[in-house]
Amino acid sequence: MARKPTLSPSRITTFLACPSKYLWTYVDPRGKWYLRAKSYYSFGTTLHKVLERFHDEGDQGVTTVGDALRIYEESWIDAGFASAEEMQEAYGEGKEIVQSVVNDAIAKREEGVKTLAVEKLLKADLGPFELIGRVDRLDERADGTIEIIDYKSGRSSVTESQVRDDLAMACYQLLAKRLFPDRAVMATIHALRVNEKASASLSAQDLEVFEADIKQIGQTILSASVDDYSPRPKPLCEGCDFLALCKKDPRFE
Ligand code: SF4
């Protein structure tokens, strides 16, 4: 039996932002030749790696701020920075972030918060496709609530309403609720740069409506035709890696 197609929050948000971008990112292999390394991806990947190792219960080598800083140094990715100065500045900022976030995490452990999983792939069968999502961290709070934590390294602020309206966070809640049907589930975005967090929890009714919406969007994506992928100029085009490709298309005007 053929495997069902899979859709992730990244795929869905990319399609909603620009179907052509979806085409070049996920469907047409020519797109990969146009992708450029970006400093914010390198920076974010390094921070994610440190926090993944710190919160992984099976990784006994990373339990203190000193250990986390050692992993930070080992995991540093220098791709995408415009100059050595820019990289040094980011490196120093990242060190401060690691210190502050890890100190905060140590305090949370003392409050009885348990990390259940890191970099966990969640899945749910939604009929014509499988919804998948990799969560940065899944915690169990002292009262039994399951908390999904998503790290954002580029953001300098976050609010409850932003978490509530975030498509990826709603997908993660839907997926986590399938895994823990009897538990309260909440989602948190952790803006690492400022060590700020905001959380929101969708009600059972909200999740039901969201599931119906996401099924409909998923079907639109899966049945997209060549015309649906037509490039159309939009504010997002400025700075998009695929602009040169889209400009070759006579429909891009
Ligand atoms: S250049 Fe514009 S139309 Fe083309 S993929 Fe990027 S955002 Fe979409």
**Beta-strand pair 6-7/114-125:** unpaired
- In the structure, what pLDDT confidence band is assigned to residue 47 with cuts at 50, 70 and 90? very high
Please say if the pLDDT value at position 162 is more than 90.
yes
Cβ-contact 97, 54 below 8 angstroms = no
119: left (phi over 0), alpha (psi -120 to 50) or beta: left
Please say if the pLDDT value at position 44 is more than 80.
yes
Angstrom distance (rounded) from CA 246 to CA 243: 5
What pTM, to 2 d.p., does this model score?
0.89
pLDDT of residue 22: 96
Ligand 1 contacts CB of residue 192 (under 6 A): no
Ligand 1 contacts CB of residue 16 (under 6 A): no
Q: Give distance in angstroms: CA of 7 to centre of ligand 1.
A: 20
| Mean pLDDT value of segment 170-176 | 98
Q: What does 208-228 look like in DSSP terms, one character per residue?
A: HHHHHHHHHHHHHHHT--GGG
| Mean pLDDT value of segment 167-176 | 98
Cβ-contact 187, 163 below 8 angstroms = yes
Residue 60: other Cβ atoms inside 10 A: 8
Ligand 1 contacts CB of residue 19 (under 6 A): no
The neighbouring-strand residues paired with 6 are 130
Q: What is the DSSP letter of 25?
A: I
Ligand 1: nearest atom to the Cα of 240: 6
How many degrees, rounded to 5, is the angle at CA 206 between CA 205 and CA 212?
Answer: 95
Residues 65-114: tens digit of each pLDDT: 999 999 999 999 989 898 999 999 999 999 999 999 899 888 888 888 89
- In the structure, what pLDDT confidence band is assigned to residue 215 with cuts at 50, 70 and 90? very high
pLDDT of residue 174: 98
How much of the chain, in percent, has pLDDT values that exceed 70?
100
Residues 112-146: tens digit of each pLDDT: 889 899 889 999 999 999 999 999 999 999 899 99
Q: Give distance in angstroms: CA of 220 to centre of ligand 1.
A: 19
Half-sphere exposure (Cβ direction) of 38: Cα atoms closer than 13 Å: 10
Q: What is the DSSP letter of 61?
A: T
Angstrom distance (rounded) from CA 122 to CA 128: 17
Instruction: Determine the residue of 23, 24, 35, 246 to mutate for testing ligand 1's pocket, defined as the one with the most ligand atoms within 8 A of the Cβ atom.
Output: 246
Residues 185-204: tens digit of each pLDDT: 999 999 998 989 999 999 99
- In the structure, what pLDDT confidence band is assigned to residue 41 with cuts at 50, 70 and 90? confident
Q: What is the DSSP letter of 238?
A: T
